[in-house]
Amino acid sequence: MTSSLPIAITQGDAAGIGPEIIAKAFRDAPQLLRGCFVVGSVAALRRAAACIARPGDTSLPVACIDSARQAAAVPPRCVPVLPLPGLPAEPPAWGRIDAAAGRAAADCVVWAAQAALRGEVAALVTAPLHKEALAAGGIAYPGHTELLQAEAARHAGVALADMPVRMMLASDELRTVLVSIHVSLRDALDAVTQANVLGALRITHAALTRSLGRPPRIGVAGVNPHAGEGGLFGREEIDVIVPALQAARAEGIDAQGPFAPDTVFMRARNTLQRAGEFDVVLAMYHDQGLIPVKYLGVDKGVNVTLGLPLVRTSPDHGTAFDIAGQGVADASSLIEAVRMARQLSALPA
C-alpha cells in the first residue's frame, strides 16, 4: 500500500446520514479528500448533495467514474462515485430500515475490501451501517468488523479463527481496543478468556508499534468493579486477565493491569495539562471501551480495525436515522477517519 493509491469511501446505509457526511466532507475538506472516491450509488450521493445545500452555495457536483484510478482526475469539491452494478436504482426513504439498503451497504464494503486486498486502493473508510438493515438484507455478519474479517480470511485462504481482528476507537485524547465486539453482554463476559485477552494484547502491540514507531504502553481494564477487589467481586481478573498479562509481558509486550475500569480511562487520557499514562486501554467488552471515547467527543473519534491486512477506518457514530435527510449531520468524525486512513496507509508495511 502507498499513499499514492486512491482511498475508497463506502456510502454506508443510504437511509442514514452516511451519504450526507460524505458529501459534506468533499465540500468542506476538499484537499484532504483529493484522490478519494465513493463506492455506492450516484443517485444516493446526488440526493445527499442536494440535502446539504446552503443558500447562496454553488451546487456540489457528483461525478460517475468507471475505475478507482479516475478519482485522481476529479477536481476538488466534486464527489467521484464508482457505482456498483446491482445497487437499487433509487435511494431508500430517509430514516427507515430497508433490507435493500442493508444489502447494498454490505456490497459496497465487500467491493472496497476486495479492492484493498488486491492492492488497488490504499485504504477504505466506511460510512455507518445499520445492523438491523444488514440482517434484514440477509447479511450473516453483524457489522463492518466481522464482514471485513471474513473477506480478509477468504482472500488469504485461511479459517476465520486464523484472521483475528480487534476494534480500536481512537481520538487525540484516548485510544481503546476491545476484547469482544458486537455480542450480547452475557456473551461478552464468556469471551473474557486468557486466549482472547492475550490475542488482543498481541494485535494491539503489533498495530500500535507500527503506527507509533515504538512499542505502546497498554493499560488493561478489569471486567469487574474495582477490578474484582482481590476476588471479592469476581475472579476473572485473577484467573484470566493476570495470566494473560504475564504471558504478554514474557513476549516483551508492555501491558499493565488489570486496573479498575472506572479509573483506567482517565489515567490514559491525554490532555493539554498532562500526557496519559498509557497509549491505549484494552477494554474487556464493547461499551466499557467505547463509552469513554465517545463521551469525550463523537466528532473526534475514529474506528480502526486492527489485525487486517488492509487499512480500514470509520467514523465512531451510527446511521442517525432520526436526523437523516435534514442536512445537519456532522462530518467531523468522517473527515478524521479519512485523515487517519491517509496516515496509516502511508506507513511502511
pLDDT tens digit string along 288-310? 999 999 888 767 789 999 999 99
Q: Say if domain 1-159+309-349 classifies as CATH 3.40.50.1460.
A: no
Per-residue pLDDT reduced to its tens digit, 109-149: 999 999 999 999 999 999 999 999 999 999 999 889 899 99
Contact in structure between 119 and 2 (CB atoms under 8 Å): no
Tell me if the domain spanning 172-296 has CATH number 3.40.718.10. Answer: yes
Residue 337 backbone dihedrals phi, psi, to 5 degrees: -65, -40
What is residue 16's DSSP assignment?
A: T
- How buried is residue 57: exposed, middle or buried, by Cβ count under 10 Å (0-12/13-18/19+)? exposed
Orientation angle between helical segments 42-51 and 18-28, nearest 10 degrees: 70
Question: Which DSSP letter does residue 227 get?
Answer: G
Residues spanned by CATH 3.40.718.10 within the chain? 1-159+309-349, 172-296
Q: Give the mean model confidence (pLDDT) for residues 151-171.
A: 94
pLDDT digits (tens, 9 = 90+) for 218-273: 999 999 999 988 888 999 999 999 999 999 999 999 999 999 999 999 999 989 88
Q: What is the pLDDT of residues 303-331, one digit of tens each?
A: 999 999 999 999 988 999 999 999 999 99
Alpha-carbon span 92 to 100, nearest angstrom:
8
Measure the CA–CA gap between 22 and 126, rounded to whole angstroms.
10
| Rama region for 77: left / alpha / beta (φ>0; ψ in -120 to 50; rest) | left
What is the structure's pLDDT at 2? 44
| pLDDT tier, 63 (very low <50, low <70, confident <90, very high otherwise) | very high
Residue 345 reports pLDDT greater than 50: yes
Instruction: Report the C-alpha dihedral over residues 338, 344, 345, 348, rounded to 10 degrees.
Output: 170
Mean of all residue pLDDT scores within the chain: 94
Q: Give the model's pLDDT for residue 3.
A: 54
* Burial status of residue 130 (CB atoms within 10 A of its CB: 0-12, 13-18, 19 or more): buried
Task: Write out pLDDT tens, residues 183-227.
Answer: 899 999 999 999 999 999 999 999 999 999 999 999 999 999 999
Give the strand pairing for 123-126 and 312-315.
parallel
pLDDT of 107? 97
Which of left, alpha, beta for 66 (phi over 0: left; psi -120 to 50: alpha)? alpha
* pLDDT above 90: residue 335: yes
* 267 vs 54, residue with greater confidence: 267
Cβ-contact 277, 121 below 8 angstroms: no
Of all residues in the chain, the percent with pLDDT exceeding 70 is 98
Task: Please report the pLDDT score of residue 296 as a whole number.
Answer: 86
pLDDT of res. 120 = 96
The yes-or-no verdict on residue 57 having pLDDT over 90 is: no
The yes-or-no verdict on residue 175 having pLDDT over 60 is yes
Q: What is the mean pLDDT of residues 23-40?
A: 96
